Chains A and B, each alone.
Chain A
Amino acid sequence: MGKAYYTIAIQPEKCNGCNDCMVACAQKKEGTTNPSDARLSIELGEEALAKGFALCRQCAMPQCVMVCPSGALRKDEETGIVSVDETECVGCRLCTLACAYAGIALHPKKQKAVKCDLCGGDPTCVKSCKTGALSLVTAGDLYRRWGDLEDLFVPGMSFCLGCNSELIVRHTLRRVGSNTVVATPPGCVAGVGAVGVNGFTATKVPVFHPLLTNTASMLAGIKRYYNRIGREVTMLALAGDGGTADVGFQSLSGAAERGEQIIYICLDNEGYMNTGAQRSSTTPFGAWTSTTPVGEALKGKTRDAKPLPVIMVMHNCEYVATACSAFMEDYYQKLEKAIEASKKGMAYIHVFSPCPTGWRFLPSKLIEVGRKAVASNMVPLWEYSREGESLRFTQPVDNPIPVEDYLFLIGKYRHLSREQIEHIQDMVNERIRILKALVKE
């Protein structure tokens, strides 16, 4: 139970109606080239974007399986594929009544239910799709792998409802593992109880609470001690943007310059959120905070955010990346690289961490905020490694959406004037230009 599986995802706007997927499916499954023999179908409507899809989603709780009176349908607990045993199907069609996706139908000749079986895990339709409208989502692998790892934070911490940082720190420590010393300077992660209450910590690994100013230097010292006694232990900082970009910057900069072997993860919620939402140097231009209020004179922050990840690229780090919880596969790949890089020198990941409480949006919109931040280039996702010798966009955005599509999801930007939005758009364009200049062609 609770496993995650592969499924085929559809992006209608990329589909040009070429029928290649249906022909490929019909060839493989029925030996014909007739699209109507395929186990998926795409109907074109009159308007350009109107498309009607009929395709099995390999549901987690498949209704077709649950209503089958014949025991002919089953979901494989290992692969997640929902399949029909034709010899046991009596053709009653209750499954077609249960499926809202038109993902199962009666074979016209055999009079048995037929459906997509993902070609056993490597669907031929996806391979035939030239426009990228169909893709195989393999995120299930990730969650299944990490689901087996132990959560090294205890339950019952006092994170706010829908906190992005909780999501990130639990995933992170799970992957980094128990052979770790964690540092959480003052900030949200420490504030919710990570460093402990009454002598009990909320982590199942050693954790300490440095000052805001010395997170990186304390970790560096501990790492050097372990190196001296010949033990390989991972050093992990889980710090906020204040403890990283403002108060903690000198020790971070020094540790990076010396190539200290630590993983430093900055959870950037763009302000001092646990103390009442004050501005930090990573608070974006125009954003409301309790120290950059919106009134007659002032309309939010008057300075642009400090581009800290780019600054870290210039700091002689082994590995630098940006990440966002809406792109978990991307984050995990970066985390893997950071773990490796930290054996040689400093690995720095800057995680965009939207804050429902301080930014004023509904917790249920968290992932949407993340997606649109990336889609608008407000938060470009990239990585830089010394080995790779170049900066690389990991989720390149071909046609960015306007920044206001992102900004107006969030209460702290609600007051923005047209001029302020234009300023933000110009800043975003400028920063993308700089990043692109760091990409080696």
Chain B
Amino acid sequence: MINTKYLLIGSGHAALSAIDGIRMQDENGPILMTGAEGRSPYSPTILPYVIAGRKDPSKTQLKDEAFFKTRKVIFMEKDPVKVLNSVMSRAYLESGKEVSYEKVLVATGAVPQVPSIPGLDDCPYEVLRTMEDALKIREKAKKAQSAIIVGAGLIGMHLAEALSSLGLKVTVVEALPHVLGTYFDEVSSQMIRQSFEERGVKILTGCLISKAASGDGVCALSLQNGIDLSANMLIIATGVRPRTDILDEYVKKDKGILVDNFMKTNVPNIWAAGDVVQCKDFFEDRMVLNGILPNAVQQGIIAGRSMANDNNVKPFRGSIAMNTFSFFGNKALSIGQVNGSDNNSDLKEDIILSSSSVRYQKILYKEDIIRGVISINTQLDPGVFLRLIIDQISVHEQKNLLGASSLKAGRLIMSARWR
């Protein structure tokens, strides 16, 4: 039996941030962190870069040994928790070891969500969530001439660029009408799509798959609209779902683990953070899933501080969708609400659109408060705009400048608020 004060299940951004959160308050309380893959901590976000050959897979480690040493953390790289007994405060590890903890953080992340498609189970399809997945895709791609990617979300589109840069003929199939629909509006989504299509990536939107089959090193998909596709590789990138399977029935779950604004579950000594949780939304009164890296970091810090009884910890602000997306040298950014001005008269848009180049910017306002930003190749500080949205700063007088000269206006507003 291993005894620890803090048990951190998982070794991603949320768990790593929780270490710093705990150590702000509790310098010496024993921390045990368990990983699943026998690797140094890495980020799933880096995987498309590994596949594209832009990142050496042996150099993806987020933290070195010194990090754990100075913070007095025991990291068991390859001994994942199999079952968590919330009544006994015990964790049972795959190796058969038992851990007795005072407080636990569940940061197990998410696993790929694979849709039910007739025949898919018999196809050698790939998903992308772990380093092993990435290395496998990279190996396969060396021999393949073509690939079908199901899902035009961030992972799907990142993969499409990576594989097409390796010389594969790539087809992306998406059920929704636009690519990257959660982050970009119709205009910007179209702009991104066009860039992909100009480089030979075939994109089919609004398409449902009726069946999958395989044979002779080829995977074939039949779409409901009658189109048939085939390629050497089939990759399913239709999103992820929280990995909650280690928890017993006493921990409340919906789609993910339900947490309050201090990342506490309904069980007093269990916290959860990162992709595994379902938490408050920033804009609306509802509980949402949030597979977003900066949110995971925030939640990890808050969970850690809360676990260490930090009285000054501020509640999580709520989940805000945000991401950066680079494609073929173009830089896209999305923060907060980016759609909804047409069916919600409260929201107003300030748009800059270039007809000759890949350039677009939209700032979405509710009265004088920014609710969301889309930028493709325009100059602004993403972090400054995120802060303007989070702090709900009224920007009435600077609205014109914010649209026309976003970089400068953002800095002026923020600097005035620092003092």
Q: A and B, one complex? A: yes
Are A51 and B415 in contact, CB atoms less than 8 angstroms apart? yes
Given known A-B contacts A50-B412, A102-B384, A102-B414, A93 and B333 have beta carbons under 8 A apart: yes
Are B412 and A67 in contact, CB atoms less than 8 angstroms apart? no
- Which of chain A's residues 94-128 have a Cβ closer than 8 Å to chain B? 94, 96-102, 105-106, 111
Query: Is the CB of B23 closer than 8 A to any CB of chain A?
Result: yes
Are B45 and A52 in contact, CB atoms less than 8 angstroms apart? no
Give Cα A93–Cα B332 distance, bound, in whole angstroms.
10
Query: Is the CB of A90 closer than 8 A to any CB of chain B?
Result: yes
Select the stretch in A69-77, A176-184, A336-344 that faces chain B. Answer: A69-77
Q: Which residue of A lies closest to B413 (CB)?
A: A52
Query: Is the CB of B258 closer than 8 A to any CB of chain A?
Result: no
Q: How far is the CB of A76 from chain B (nearest CB, A)?
A: 11
Q: How far is the CB of A162 from chain B (nearest CB, A)?
A: 14
Neighbour of A41 across the interface among B16, B46, B326, B411, CB < 8 A: B411
- Which of chain B's residues 139-168 have a Cβ closer than 8 Å to chain A? none
Query: Is the CB of A53 closer than 8 A to any CB of chain B?
Result: yes
Among B46, B331, B381, B412, find the residue whose CB has the most chain A CB atoms closer than 10 A: B381
Cβ–Cβ < 8 Å partners of B286 in chain A: none
Select the stretch in B55-63, B111-119, B171-179, B191-199 that faces chain A. Answer: B55-63
Cβ–Cβ < 8 Å partners of A66 in chain B: 13, 16-17, 20, 297, 301
Q: How far is the CB of B328 from chain A (nearest CB, A)?
A: 12
Cβ–Cβ < 8 Å partners of A54 in chain B: 381, 411
Number of A-B contacts (CB under 8 A): 123
Query: Is the CB of B408 closer than 8 A to any CB of chain A?
Result: yes
Given known A-B contacts A90-B49, A97-B333, A45 and B412 have beta carbons under 8 A apart: yes
Are B13 and A96 in contact, CB atoms less than 8 angstroms apart? no
Given known A-B contacts A63-B297, A70-B43, A70-B49, A97 and B386 have beta carbons under 8 A apart: yes
Q: How far is the CB of B317 from chain A (nearest CB, A)?
A: 13
Q: How far is the CB of B299 from chain A (nearest CB, A)?
A: 11
Are A96 and B46 in contact, CB atoms less than 8 angstroms apart? no
Cβ–Cβ < 8 Å partners of A141 in chain B: none
Are A96 and B324 in contact, CB atoms less than 8 angstroms apart? yes
Query: Is the CB of B124 closer than 8 A to any CB of chain A?
Result: no
Q: Which residue of A lies closest to B61 (CB)?
A: A71
Q: Return the CB mask of A32-59 against B: 1 if under 8 Å, else 0.
A: 0000000001010100001111100000
Query: Is the CB of B293 closer than 8 A to any CB of chain A?
Result: yes
Q: How far is the CB of B2 from chain A (nearest CB, A)?
A: 24
Q: How far is the CB of A17 from chain B (nearest CB, A)?
A: 13
Query: Is the CB of B226 closer than 8 A to any CB of chain A?
Result: no
Query: Is the CB of A61 closer than 8 A to any CB of chain B?
Result: yes
Give Cα A77–Cα B66 distance, bound, in whole angstroms.
10
Q: How far is the CB of B183 from chain A (nearest CB, A)?
A: 12
Are B27 and A102 in contact, CB atoms less than 8 angstroms apart? no
Cβ–Cβ < 8 Å partners of B370 in chain A: none
Query: Is the CB of B419 closer than 8 A to any CB of chain A?
Result: yes
Among A45, A52, A88, A111, find the residue whose CB has the most chain B CB atoms closer than 10 A: A52
Q: How far is the CB of B251 from chain A (nearest CB, A)?
A: 26
Given known A-B contacts A1-B70, A50-B416, A93-B382, A61 and B331 have beta carbons under 8 A apart: no
Query: Is the CB of A199 closer than 8 A to any CB of chain B?
Result: no
Neighbour of B381 across the interface among A69, A70, A102, CB < 8 A: A102
Give Cα A43–Cα B49 distance, bound, in whole angstroms.
35
- Which of chain B's residues 375-395 have a Cβ closer than 8 Å to chain A? 381-384, 386-387
Cβ–Cβ < 8 Å partners of A12 in chain B: 415, 419
Cβ–Cβ < 8 Å partners of A230 in chain B: none
Neighbour of B55 across the interface among A2, A70, A94, A97, CB < 8 A: A70
Query: Is the CB of A132 closer than 8 A to any CB of chain B?
Result: no
Query: Is the CB of B71 closer than 8 A to any CB of chain A?
Result: yes
**Size category, B interface:** 35 or more
Query: Is the CB of A91 closer than 8 A to any CB of chain B?
Result: yes
Interface of B is mostly: helix
Cβ–Cβ < 8 Å partners of A139 in chain B: none
Neighbour of A71 across the interface among B59, B71, B407, B409, CB < 8 A: B59
Are A93 and B412 in contact, CB atoms less than 8 angstroms apart? no
Cβ–Cβ < 8 Å partners of A71 in chain B: 42, 59-63
Cβ–Cβ < 8 Å partners of B333 in chain A: 93, 97
Cβ–Cβ < 8 Å partners of B46 in chain A: 69-70, 90
Q: Return the CB mask of B51-76 against A: 1 if under 8 Å, else 0.
A: 00011000111110010001100000
Cβ–Cβ < 8 Å partners of B335 in chain A: 97
Neighbour of B414 across the interface among A52, A90, A94, CB < 8 A: A52
Q: How far is the CB of A84 from chain B (nearest CB, A)?
A: 14
Neighbour of A97 across the interface among B294, B301, B410, B413, CB < 8 A: B294
Are B326 and A93 in contact, CB atoms less than 8 angstroms apart? yes
Are A90 and B70 in contact, CB atoms less than 8 angstroms apart? no
Are B383 and A99 in contact, CB atoms less than 8 angstroms apart? yes
Are A106 and B415 in contact, CB atoms less than 8 angstroms apart? no
Cβ–Cβ < 8 Å partners of A105 in chain B: 381
Give Cα A292–Cα B408 distance, bound, in whole angstroms.
54
Query: Is the CB of B322 closer than 8 A to any CB of chain A?
Result: yes
Q: How far is the CB of A27 from chain B (nearest CB, A)?
A: 23
Are B408 and A52 in contact, CB atoms less than 8 angstroms apart? yes
Q: How far is the CB of A93 from chain B (nearest CB, A)?
A: 4
Are B13 and A90 in contact, CB atoms less than 8 angstroms apart? no
Q: How far is the CB of B267 from chain A (nearest CB, A)?
A: 27
Give Cα A101–Cα B388 distance, bound, in whole angstroms.
12
Query: Is the CB of A298 closer than 8 A to any CB of chain B?
Result: no
Q: Which residue of B lies closest to A92 (CB)?
A: B324
Q: Which residue of A lies closest to B324 (CB)?
A: A93
Give Cα A101–Cα B43 distance, bound, in whole angstroms.
24
Q: How far is the CB of A55 from chain B (nearest CB, A)?
A: 10
Cβ–Cβ < 8 Å partners of B323 in chain A: 97
Are A94 and B62 in contact, CB atoms less than 8 angstroms apart? no
Give Cα A10–Cα B353 distance, bound, in whole angstroms.
36
Cβ–Cβ < 8 Å partners of B384 in chain A: 100-102
Neighbour of A52 across the interface among B27, B301, B411, B419, CB < 8 A: B411
Q: How far is the CB of B51 from chain A (nearest CB, A)?
A: 12
Cβ–Cβ < 8 Å partners of B329 in chain A: 111
Give Cα A97–Cα B296 distance, bound, in whole angstroms.
14
Cβ–Cβ < 8 Å partners of A92 in chain B: 45, 49, 324, 326
Cβ–Cβ < 8 Å partners of A88 in chain B: 55, 59
Are B416 and A67 in contact, CB atoms less than 8 angstroms apart? no
Give Cα A218–Cα B411 distance, bound, in whole angstroms.
60
Give Cα A48–Cα B406 distance, bound, in whole angstroms.
20
Given known A-B contacts A54-B381, A66-B297, A93 and B331 have beta carbons under 8 A apart: yes
Give Cα A103–Cα B163 distance, bound, in whole angstroms.
33
Cβ–Cβ < 8 Å partners of B408 in chain A: 43, 52
Give Cα A102–Cα B380 distance, bound, in whole angstroms.
9
Give Cα A202–Cα B16 distance, bound, in whole angstroms.
39
Give Cα A259–Cα B386 distance, bound, in whole angstroms.
62
Q: How far is the CB of B271 from chain A (nearest CB, A)?
A: 18
Cβ–Cβ < 8 Å partners of A63 in chain B: 294, 297, 383
Q: How far is the CB of B147 from chain A (nearest CB, A)?
A: 21
Q: Give me 24 A-to-B residue pairs in the complex whose CB atoms sit less than 8 angstroms apart, sorted by A's number.
A: A2-B27, A43-B407, A50-B412, A51-B412, A52-B411, A63-B383, A66-B297, A67-B293, A69-B46, A71-B59, A71-B60, A71-B62, A90-B49, A91-B326, A92-B326, A93-B326, A93-B382, A94-B45, A94-B324, A97-B323, A97-B386, A101-B384, A102-B411, A102-B414
Q: A-contacting residues of B (Cβ < 8 Å)? A: 13, 16-17, 20, 23-24, 27, 42-46, 49, 54-55, 59-63, 66, 70-71, 293-294, 297, 301, 322-324, 326, 329, 331, 333, 335, 381-384, 386-387, 407-416, 419
The 4 closest A-B pairs by CB, nearest first: A52-B411, A69-B43, A69-B45, A52-B412
List 11 extra interface pairs beyond A63-B383, A99-B381, CB under 8 A. Answer: A1-B23, A54-B381, A61-B20, A66-B17, A66-B301, A69-B43, A69-B293, A71-B42, A98-B297, A99-B383, A105-B381
